[in-house]
Amino acid sequence: MNIKEIEGLLDRYYEGETTLAEEQKLKDFFLHDEVPETLRQHQPLFRFLISEAKLTLSEENQEASLDRRIERYRGETSILSVPPGKKRLYYLSAMAAGLVLLIGLVFLIRNEAGRKGYFENLRPSTELAYSQTRQALLLVSVGLNTGLDEVQRLKTLDNAMEQIQRINKFYNYQTQFINPERMQDPSTNK
């Protein structure tokens, strides 16, 4: 095949005017190793087109794809469908787990509290209760007695106040005699 013909085919190829047979001619030409320098720039394209047409879907690829599809299908359906027998088993096991947790918690708290002696303090003997109450009442009565003494002292204060009142009266009378006009205005009389 001469180069002129190939060049002509190439021109028509890029214009989209070649037939399939002519395009096959071009592919065959460029597959051949002895391509002249001037046309070598077109070689990669046609070699690429030939090699791409040989690409096949292998058996392993298809199996791998099928596996992926099954895996996806499983992932989509597993949440939706649980057989009823299994469902009951889930409920039962959940209840059992809850129960075990509760019992465990009760024991744990009891053990911890027992070690610290909480319950001994919370359950006092009657004797202890009596003595403690007595002590408390005693404290109140002693306080009350000292309080009464203070009130007694207040009485002497009251007496003293009475005397002062008398002095006040005397002072009032005195001013009434000496300076009667000052009585008109009680606000200044202080």
Partner 1 sequence: MNLQDFNTKVYPLKDKIFRFAKRMLGQTEEAEDLVQEVFIRMWKIREKLDEYRSLEALAMVTTKNLCLDKLKARKFPVESFNDQRQFIETIAEEARPDHSDLISGVREAMNTLTEQARMIVHLRDIEGYEFDEISEVTGMEENAVRVALSRARKRIREILINNKRYEYQRN
Q: How far apart, in whole angstroms, are the C-alpha atoms of residue 160 and residue 167?
A: 11
> Binding of partner 1 at residue 185 (CB under 8 A)?
no
- Render 69-117 in DSSP notation, one character per residue: HHHHHHHHHTTT---HHHHHHHHHHHHHHHHHHHHHHHHHHHHHHHHHT
If binding means CB under 8 A, how many residues of this protein chain bind partner 1? 29
> Binding of partner 1 at residue 128 (CB under 8 A)?
no
Please tell me what DSSP assigns to residue 188: G
Query: Applying CB under 8 A, which part among 59-67, 112-120, 140-148, 164-172 lies near partner 1?
Result: 59-67
64 or 129: CB nearest partner 1:
64
Phi, then psi, of 80 in degrees rounded to 5: -80, -40
Among 68, 110, 169, 182, indicate the residue that binds partner 1 (CB under 8 A): 68
Among 31, 64, 94, 95, indicate the residue that binds partner 1 (CB under 8 A): 64
> Binding of partner 1 at residue 2 (CB under 8 A)?
no
Contact 22, 12 (CB under 8 A): yes
53 or 136: CB nearest partner 1:
53
Least Å distance between CB 81 and partner 1? Answer: 21
15 or 127: CB nearest partner 1:
15
> Binding of partner 1 at residue 61 (CB under 8 A)?
yes
Q: How far apart, in whole angstroms, are the C-alpha atoms of residue 135 and residue 171?
A: 55
Helix, strand, coil percentages, rounded to 5, for the chain:
85, 0, 15
41 or 141: CB nearest partner 1:
41
Least Å distance between CB 24 and partner 1? Answer: 8
> Binding of partner 1 at residue 8 (CB under 8 A)?
no
Closest CA to 31 of 13, 15, 11, 51: 51
Closest CA to 39 of 13, 15, 21, 16: 13
Residues that bind partner 1 (CB under 8 A): 13-17, 20, 23-24, 41-45, 47-49, 51-53, 55-57, 61-62, 64-66, 68-69
